[in-house]
Amino acid sequence: MKYTFALIGIWLLSFSGLAQELISPNQDLKMKFSLDENGTPVYQLYYKNEEVIKPSKLGLELKDDDLSLMNSFKIVDTNTSTYDNTWEPVWGEQAEIRNHYNELAVTLNQPEKDRKIIIRFRMFNEGLGFRYEFPEQKNLVYFVIKEEHTQFAMTGDHTAFWIPGDYDSQEYDYTTSKLSEISSKFDGALSHNESQEQFSKTGVQTSLMMKTEDGLFINLHEAALKEYSLMNLNLNEKNFVFESWLTPDVLGNKGFLQAPNTSPWRTIMVSDDATDILASNMTLNLNEPNVIEDTSFIKPMKYVGVWWEMITGKSAWNYTDDLPSVKVGETDFTKAKPNGRHAANTEHVKEYIDFASEHGFDGVLVEGWNQGWEDWYGHSKDFVFDFVTPYPDFDVEEIHDYAASKNVKMIMHHETSGAIRNYERHMDSAYAFMNKYDYPAVKSGYVGNIIPRGEHHYGQWAINHFLYAVKKAADYKVMVNAHEAVRPTGLRRTYPNLIANESARGTEFQAFGGNKPNHVTILPFTRLIGGPMDYTPGIFEMDISKLNPDNNSHVNSTIANQLALYVTMYSPLQMAADLIENYKRFPDAFQFIKDVAIDWEESKYLEAEPGQYITVARKAKGTNNWFVGNVNGTTPRTTKIKLDFLEKGKKYTATIYADAEDAHYKTNPQAYKITTKTVTRRTKLKLDSAPGGGFAISIIEKK
Amino acid sequence: MKYTFALIGIWLLSFSGLAQELISPNQDLKMKFSLDENGTPVYQLYYKNEEVIKPSKLGLELKDDDLSLMNSFKIVDTNTSTYDNTWEPVWGEQAEIRNHYNELAVTLNQPEKDRKIIIRFRMFNEGLGFRYEFPEQKNLVYFVIKEEHTQFAMTGDHTAFWIPGDYDSQEYDYTTSKLSEISSKFDGALSHNESQEQFSKTGVQTSLMMKTEDGLFINLHEAALKEYSLMNLNLNEKNFVFESWLTPDVLGNKGFLQAPNTSPWRTIMVSDDATDILASNMTLNLNEPNVIEDTSFIKPMKYVGVWWEMITGKSAWNYTDDLPSVKVGETDFTKAKPNGRHAANTEHVKEYIDFASEHGFDGVLVEGWNQGWEDWYGHSKDFVFDFVTPYPDFDVEEIHDYAASKNVKMIMHHETSGAIRNYERHMDSAYAFMNKYDYPAVKSGYVGNIIPRGEHHYGQWAINHFLYAVKKAADYKVMVNAHEAVRPTGLRRTYPNLIANESARGTEFQAFGGNKPNHVTILPFTRLIGGPMDYTPGIFEMDISKLNPDNNSHVNSTIANQLALYVTMYSPLQMAADLIENYKRFPDAFQFIKDVAIDWEESKYLEAEPGQYITVARKAKGTNNWFVGNVNGTTPRTTKIKLDFLEKGKKYTATIYADAEDAHYKTNPQAYKITTKTVTRRTKLKLDSAPGGGFAISIIEKK
């Protein structure tokens, strides 16, 4: 990895009264910072000279502190600099990432307490990041955050793409509404989850995507969330001011800090072009560089697995139905009556290994392989799994040998049931077990309430754990794909073995009643801002009752839309989630899943409108091949795209996987058509997408 | 280890009405069990035909359960048996322990819920133990205890030797009062601790020692506390009924259980001779047999250490005073200014190694050797220590080599500051570090509030951890001496590497203002019922200001009393806690500490009266030598003892370390006299003990 540093200590401030200004490298964005009459820090943001963030206060309320870090500040120092550097991620949407910003660091002092903080602003072309810093000092050492009061004052009643603020779950469908409608639509935006707790009817999660009446796109999120609790936003519906709302611990505290330390970055992206939000690397750039020296074990993977059949209810995770409860290490499963529905058995897993091998997949995920699934959730059970003991019908050794003979890697599954202590106690032996049997990656899960009881998925305690698990995995050269963990905030830059997260409503909900058809036109603007998602696309059979007569759920998507997701939902870890039998029914469509790359040289965000459509083109790393994906919302739509990103003078074979004319996510989801043509950089395409549809194109260089 | 089982299925019940009776092997104790008109279990206890426990209810209140396990029971089965077996502890007060009891197991059903529990009673000669059992069944699997309602109904206003009930601390002086006086004396019985929380002005801790007006001694405690929260007792002062009061978790829950499972045993010891309470092995016998296969690493130890000088304030644990806070692994201590008071430095430790080697001590404990002591408590600091990184002036390698050359073992110290998660995360590497540098034992500490925050030292979470630490230590062949952990309940039988605990007000408080002079005449009846205590006796300089001019504390004990503690306060781990310089001033008295054994063939409890005196004789394992100790309360007293426990026909040299005539714990604590005489089993001794005094005798066989 190569870093080029360009730290230039030039002054970018222009003094207008007492306010200090910070301007983006491209001059589009301007931030004004000042202290108000109470000594409270206030910032304001302009985009192309129009106000996008009205004067907004900054500060932290401390526990057992009469003054807090809210007011009575004096500016004691300001420092500006410019940074311009290009770095290479281990994997990603592009091979090189430019990190270019102007910085303003304001040192503030509270004379009354003789203590100081720094507020550091970094202005990128597409947005502003800022954080609180607590330098080493005598009078601010250990402190407890009662609440962070960071404001984001909106200029009007914008349209927002939001999910309910929650301490434990992000697995909600998005609601599109005016800010003023959030509270009235709040209850309707809720859906059940095994662990969830909302805090306010005007509470929403980040990354929050908004659009102004003037067509400006605004995105609020955070970057580099470590040793701090997650930020939700609470809206004052009267003046459209959002304020940070941190996740509490069991006692209501919102963060234990020891100086020197910092808060995560708070980010505001702004553009009049929605694709700028998708293309932004601001969140990554606000994270620290990679700290893992040997990254040779970190490799993007395409995989299949024993999973969708359990999600749909066709098969079971558990081995027996006959025991009221089990204790791993005590229950003798060889004496238990098998329920006959246990999918993670050696024979069945071998079928998946064969399929993966035949079709060029890197890995096979198997859930339900280890003892404990009989009573794995809903009981606040502490010692629920040991992560190393298989059911009698899952032969770890035999499966390992078979997979190795077929050049396929097994992917580990660690469901923790939220029992963090138990997982940490078994983590070393669990990772060592993975090393022994050559599992390169683990899908971890945190279904249900967290143990220690009363802690939340997004509180400081759990957030500390999630990163601990990633760091320890790195020690064992293991990649982590954490489900039900805190949403990503770009930490993958620092820890590139964090290859994916769930942290949103994924494909599984298509078997639990369905997702909104435009869900995937919003996720890249919200959930994916922080990092890749293990969305598990690739469902070809939309009528779930065909898998399980007791499940009438419908997958609200066309097959073409499912294919497009491999391009629009960037992830270095991509599953082909459906059953083998369903892929065998549609081998021509399946070809795209086989062909599509998972690591990229370059990405072009061709067009996008949150909630309506996204069209992305990506160039496969180390090749001249491109893959294009379009996902569409509920309105039929025609996309016109130019292939001017192709290399001059070269010819390509484009295979277009599009919705058939009569396709529809609900009524006719399996109607697709595949066409092939020769294309060049001068080619223009006009393609129709059905409601809940889209298209996928592979563009392979002719040699 | 050899076990002989004698399970005889004979019926011991005599039916008087519906009540069922259980009688002790020696017929002294009789228990009656019945269900009352509400179907609530009730028991009653008689000693020599006098009622000692009036009808007392049994039951558990469950969370979110309308019926609970309180009433509406029917007896569906009763089962009796007799057990008589002798087993050999790895270490202890005697080489063989007889486990002899009659048992009654009553299976109760709640027809309304179709669920059952078993109440199992075991009647020993000196007391009753009983527990709740939750067998495997369909309708009682996972449940949360809201409160256990086990009653102990006293027959009158007994005298109690009590400390305030508390969820986090047992480090109190004992108050002797009538039961009716507890609430009025409660506030006066409190003293400060870094972590403490009382729950009721009539709340007291177990083991609770009482004496009736008729001279009967009653002791209430528990045995085999695992995966459950600790029991305190709350008194109804109107009717003298004690009821169990479990330690809550942060949310107020008192226990998460999964059937099959059991509660700990609740124990009631009764005798008209106080020495029977001291001699009882009931608590041990109610625990499961040893589960550690290779016990060769478990060896009693006598040790000195770098400790008292910090406790008294003469020296410091921390290396520097110049930093507002430190972060282990980040703070560079080689650049910090030493405070010059750091006791755990290589040179000083070598002095202790020399001293230990010269005087035949097995080990040297060093506290403050590892980085992190600058801000180790009071900050709710999570990552406070890593347990492997020494300060710059403590050379682990050099100290290891030096100790090995002198045939002395270093004893490890792991202060956790109550940060359980942090300790568990570092436990493997910490124990591996001990293995590498040949530390056979660890003194662990849990000063301050527990992290996870809001959990208590004696709640189920922490109790699970304490045992986890002991089990993991066994994996590494490490012995554990846990301070500020939950009080012992005989678990050392099952895990004999748990060689000691603190769990009471130890010698350290003699440097924090002093203990009551009769403290050590109560501890063997209370704290030591559950297991040995690392009391750290052997203080020769009672005026602490001689060590530290800023500390005016006085050690309320004579030197003879200090010597006696090595016999009266049984522990396989015994410290000589004072400074080397103080031992050098009194080499003749120090000789007893050098001579006294720490593992015993046999123990004779010659006389005892809680709060007043205890006289014990113990025979050193594998020898014919005996050691006698007497500790005395505040009244001068003359003890007459017969040495009829000595072997017939043998002669012994007795060295008697007694209070001088004018000795007094306060005014003249260092006045002792040493006499030597030849004794046989016909010898009678008459010895005077001063207030806060006592005597110690070594009786060495003449060969």
What is the Cα–Cα distance from A41 to A31, expressed in whole angstroms? 13
Q: How many CB atoms lie within 10 A of CB A553?
A: 20
Give the phi and the psi of residue A214 in degrees, each rounded to 5: -85, 5
Instruction: Specify the pLDDT at position A18.
Output: 65
What is the Cα–Cα distance from A42 to A615, expressed in whole angstroms? 38
What is the Cα–Cα distance from B172 to B194, expressed in whole angstroms? 12
- Residue B392 burial (10 A CB sphere; 0-12, 13-18, 19+): middle
What is the Cα–Cα distance from A23 to A33, expressed in whole angstroms? 11
- Per the listing, tokens 């995560």 go with A264
Residue (of B482, B423, B420) closest to B451 by Cα position: B420
The type of residue at A303 is Y
Instruction: Specify the pLDDT at position B19.
Output: 84
Are B660 and B589 a contacting pair, CB within 8 Å? no
Q: DSSP of B105-153, one letter per residue?
A: EEEEEETTTTEEEEEEEEEETTEEEEEEEE-S-SS-SEEEEEEE--EEE
Per-residue pLDDT band for A85 (boundaries 50, 70, 90) equals very high
> Tokens for B58?
């049994």
- For range A655-676, the mean pLDDT: 98
Q: What is the pLDDT of residues A432-460, one digit of tens each?
A: 999 999 999 999 999 999 999 999 999 99
Contact yes or no for A382 and B464 at CB 8 A: yes
Select from A141, A325, A428 the Cβ nearest to the Cβ of B325.
Answer: A141
Give the phi and the psi of residue B100 in degrees, each rounded to 5: -130, 115
To the nearest whole angstrom, how far is the Cα of A141 from the nearest Cα of chain B? Answer: 7
Interface test with B, best of A453, A460, A471 (most B CBs within 10 A): A453
Residues of B with CB under 8 A from a CB of A: 136-138, 141-142, 144, 249-251, 253, 256, 258-259, 324-325, 327, 375, 379-382, 421, 424-425, 428, 452-455, 461, 464, 468
Give the phi and the psi of residue B215 in degrees, each rounded to 5: 85, 15
Are B414 and B465 a contacting pair, CB within 8 Å? no
Instruction: Indicate the SS3 state at residue A445.
Output: strand
**Rg of chain A (C-alpha set):** 25
What is the Cα–Cα distance from A423 to A95, expressed in whole angstroms? 35
| DSSP structure class, residue B439 | -
Are B480 and B469 a contacting pair, CB within 8 Å? yes
Contact yes or no for B253 and A468 at CB 8 A: no
Question: β-strands A159-162, A60-62: how paired?
Answer: unpaired
Select from B425, B452, B454 the Cβ nearest to the Cβ of A424.
Answer: B425
Residue (of B421, B505, B449, B488) closest to B196 by Cα position: B449
Length of chain A: 703
What is the Cα–Cα distance from B41 to B52, expressed in whole angstroms? 18
- For range A22-31, the mean pLDDT: 98
**Whole-complex ipTM:** 0.95
What is the Cα–Cα distance from B688 to B676, expressed in whole angstroms? 16
The type of residue at A485 is A
Select from B259, B380, B464 the Cβ nearest to the Cβ of A256.
Answer: B380
The type of residue at A7 is L
Task: Please tell me the class of the B301-590 domain.
Answer: alpha beta
Instruction: Specify the pLDDT at position B313.
Output: 98
> Tokens for B188?
């006066």
> Tokens for A533?
């998602």
A contacts of B381 (beta carbons < 8 Å) = 142, 258
A contacts of B138 (beta carbons < 8 Å) = 324
Count of alpha carbons within 13 angstroms of residue B216, beta-carbon side: 25
Residue (of B541, B537, B644, B634) closest to B592 by Cα position: B537
Interface test with A, best of B62, B142, B331, B476 (most A CBs within 10 A): B142
Sign, CA torsion A411/A415/A420/A426: negative
Per-residue pLDDT band for A19 (boundaries 50, 70, 90) equals confident
* A12 has a pLDDT exceeding 80: no
B270 forms beta bridges with B218
Instruction: Specify the pLDDT at position A381.
Output: 97
What is the Cα–Cα distance from A115 to A137, expressed in whole angstroms? 7
B contacts of A379 (beta carbons < 8 Å) = 141-142, 258
Beta carbon pairs, A and B, within 8 Å: 81
Residue (of A207, A177, A175, A202) closest to A191 by Cα position: A175
Are A557 and A669 a contacting pair, CB within 8 Å? yes
Give the phi and the psi of residue B298 in degrees, each rounded to 5: -95, 110
CATH of A3-285, one of 3.40.1390.20, 2.70.98.10, 3.40.50.300, 3.40.50.720: 2.70.98.10
What is the Cα–Cα distance from B518 to A262, expressed in whole angstroms? 53
Contact yes or no for A325 and B258 at CB 8 A: yes
In angstroms, the Cα distances linking B455 to A80, B193, B252 are: 46, 16, 10
Interface test with B, best of A325, A423, A460 (most B CBs within 10 A): A325
Residue (of A291, A297, A316) closest to A306 by Cα position: A316
To the nearest whole angstrom, how far is the Cα of A616 from the nearest Cα of chain B? Answer: 44
pTM to 2 decimal places: 0.96
In angstroms, the Cα distances linking A157 to A149, A182, A238 are: 21, 11, 10
Contact yes or no for A259 and B325 at CB 8 A: yes
Low-confidence ranges of chain B (pLDDT < 70): 1-18
Question: β-strands B74-87, B97-110: how paired?
Answer: antiparallel
Are A232 and A166 a contacting pair, CB within 8 Å? yes
In chain A, where the domains are located? 3-285, 301-590
* A5 has a pLDDT exceeding 70: no
> Tokens for B47?
């000693």
Catalytic residue among B21, B243, B508, B541: B508
A contacts of B453 (beta carbons < 8 Å) = 249-251, 253, 256
Residue of chain A nearest B461, judged by CA positions? A452
* A16 has a pLDDT exceeding 80: no
What is the Cα–Cα distance from B338 to B350, expressed in whole angstroms? 19
Instruction: Indicate the SS3 state at residue A350.
Output: helix
Contact yes or no for B454 and A136 at CB 8 A: no
Select from B379, B428, B454 the Cβ nearest to the Cβ of A428.
Answer: B428
Q: What is the pLDDT of residues A489-513, one digit of tens each?
A: 999 999 999 999 999 999 999 999 9
To the query of whether residue B508 is one of the catalytic residues in this protein, the response is yes
- Per the listing, tokens 């050049």 go with A407
Q: What is the pLDDT of residues B54-79, one digit of tens each?
A: 999 999 999 999 999 999 999 999 99
In angstroms, the Cα distances linking A687 to A89, A278, A566, B57 are: 33, 22, 18, 79
What is the Cα–Cα distance from A329 to A336, expressed in whole angstroms? 14
Greatest distance between any 2 Cα atoms in chain B:
81
Q: What is the pLDDT of residues A253-306, one digit of tens each?
A: 999 999 999 999 999 999 999 999 999 999 999 999 999 999 999 999 999 999
Residues 6+ apart with CB under 8 A from A625: A597, A619, A652, A698, A699, A700, A701
Instruction: Specify the pLDDT at position A584.
Output: 98
Give the phi and the psi of residue A228 in degrees, each rounded to 5: -155, 165
Select from A249, A325, A464 the Cβ nearest to the Cβ of B453.
Answer: A249
Are A612 and A516 a contacting pair, CB within 8 Å? no
Instruction: Specify the pLDDT at position B18.
Output: 65
H helices of B437-500, in order, are: 460-475
Q: How many CB atoms lie within 10 A of CB B388?
A: 17
Catalytic residue among A309, A508, A541, A601: A508
Per-residue pLDDT band for A175 (boundaries 50, 70, 90) equals very high
